[in-house]
Amino acid sequence: MIDPKLLASRFPGDFTFGVATASYQIEGASKTDGRKPSIWDAFSNMPGRVYGRHNGDVACDHYNRWEDDLDLIKDMGVSAYRFSIAWPRIIPDGTGPINEKGLDFYDRLIDGLKARGIKAFATLYHWDLPLTLMGDGGWTARSTAYAFQRYAKVVMARLGDRLDAVATFNEPWCSVWLSHLYGVHAPGERNMDAALHALHYTNLAHGLGIDAIRQVAPQVPAGLVLNAHEVIPGSDSQADRAAAERAFQFHNGVFFDPVFKGEYPADFLSALGTRMPKIEAGDLEVISQKTDWWGLNYYTPMRVADDPTPGAEFPATVAAPPVSTVKTDIGWEVYSPALKSLVEGLYRRYELPVCYITENGACYNMEVENGAVDDQPRLDYYAEHLNIVADLIKDGYPMRGYFAWSLMDNFEWAEGYRMRFGLVHVDYDTQVRTVKKSGKWYGELAAQFPKGNHKVG
């Protein structure tokens, strides 16, 4: 086992080590204190959408157990907590009346973090869109972007004075492609035209959200969390290399280019631009407003080959086989070199601000035995990827922090509760938390960095 103190010596003293969660995945209390349904409440109750018809009605019951969970973070020695705010708690219908009780919960949560000396990294949107907004089309409607802007203003006016950093969105790739093209996430559409509308209006909402943050709480460092894919060609053939570049544009460029360059990728527009919604004058200027930081969520590489099918729709790729034989319990290839080449490539292509690894982790489903969870493969995954982050810092890349996904086992979206990513095991019948071997190791590493509470940016 890698000595956490030895690994700690590879990081600067002000590096931030944190843990991450998301509202729908842990909070439960789905009908409490004025909260109304999100698209995930509806989706998870549809037959065949989520494993076992699992849902977030109770989840980890964090809404009622938040004090114990914050004590857990503090006891682990972690200096930062990344969490998301549930839009259906704050403005239950997406527009209209503000729910003060929802804001009160996050008031208590953030005050609890401050009292424990833990930095508060908030995400405004982690996929729980108020269900009422689907009446107007959800993310396929331009009006949703403006509803998000108002929501961002409401949140930042109430909570911004105590936040250490805020992200507008978590993984818009999932909200766009996984939710509207592949049908795997809520609302479960499989329609390219719908996905292209969601793409532009989600990007627009990010820009309007940055604008709202600057207006209401300009002191809070604002960013965006992207699950960029390291796209690797399945072979050295020209066809596969070209396929990998198309896949990069489709999976990464459609977010990075408008946000950091003020434009959509040229080949993407050539292929699909006529099916995009109208890009109004000023939209790209709004979307490309400067951010103070960006977050990278990384788990596994994307390997692609050219799809030779005549008339195949852009990006016209198929999956290529993995190279590594090591896989997590969710079936994802473990290949840490892709994290390094991904960061290097993104900084070559774009002028990016400082970076936080906002999610990284592994799914292994070990259960409690004799009061403990021996999840050595997860520990190995963390050690391997943290060494890559240390290499990037050594090479001069502005990596400022790392958030393990996740603090605890939780509702893993379409996989329900059968897939476990936590540093802490959750018994969903009793809500008993048990710190895993990986959690103890990560806590010992994080505890070496009491000065990790540095200013973001």
How high is the pLDDT of residue 171?
99
pLDDT exceeds 70 at position 315: yes
How high is the pLDDT of residue 454?
41
Q: Domain span at residue 45?
A: 4-228+279-284+291-301+329-452
How high is the pLDDT of residue 166?
99
Determine which of 13-22, 158-167, 287-296, 446-455 has the lowest per-residue pLDDT on average: 446-455
Strand 302-306 relative to strand 222-226: parallel, antiparallel, unpaired? unpaired
C-alpha span between 31 and 29 (Å, rounded): 6
pLDDT average, residue stretch 195-215: 99
pLDDT, one tens digit per residue, over 218-277 is 999 999 999 999 999 999 999 999 999 999 999 999 999 999 999 999 999 999 999 999
pLDDT, one tens digit per residue, over 341-368 is 999 999 999 999 999 999 999 999 999 9
- Feature table: binding site: 25, 126, 170, 299, 405, 412-413
Domain assignment of residue 210, yes or no: yes
pLDDT, one tens digit per residue, over 408-440 is 999 999 999 999 999 999 999 999 999 999 999
Domain assignment of residue 237, yes or no: no
Selected catalytic residue, list 189, 230, 333, 359:
359
CATH code at 35?
3.20.20.80
Selected catalytic residue, list 171, 189, 230, 333:
171
Domain assignment of residue 100, yes or no: yes
C-alpha span between 183 and 39 (Å, rounded): 13
Domain assignment of residue 314, yes or no: no
Q: What's the mean pLDDT when you consider all of the chain? A: 98
Domain assignment of residue 319, yes or no: no
How high is the pLDDT of residue 409?
99
How high is the pLDDT of residue 68?
99
- Feature table: binding site for substrate: 25, 126, 170, 299, 405, 412-413
Domain assignment of residue 36, yes or no: yes
Angle, in degrees to the nearest 10, between helices 254-261 and 192-216:
30
Nearby residues of 111 by Cβ (< 8 Å), 6 or more positions away: 162
How high is the pLDDT of residue 416?
99
pLDDT, one tens digit per residue, over 381-409 is 999 999 999 999 999 999 999 999 999 99
How high is the pLDDT of residue 455?
47
pLDDT exceeds 60 at position 452: no
Assess whether 313 carries a catalytic annotation.
no
Question: Confidence band (pLDDT; 50, 70, 90) for 449?
Answer: confident
Domain assignment of residue 249, yes or no: no
pLDDT average, residue stretch 146-165: 99
Nearest to 198 by CA among 138, 125, 135: 138
**Alpha carbon 22 to chain centroid distance?**
8
C-alpha span between 354 and 257 (Å, rounded): 17
pLDDT average, residue stretch 175-189: 99
How high is the pLDDT of residue 456?
54
Number of domains in the chain: 1
**Alpha carbon 256 to chain centroid distance?**
15
Domain assignment of residue 259, yes or no: no
How high is the pLDDT of residue 226?
99
Assess whether 171 carries a catalytic annotation.
yes
**Secondary structure (3-state) at 64:** helix
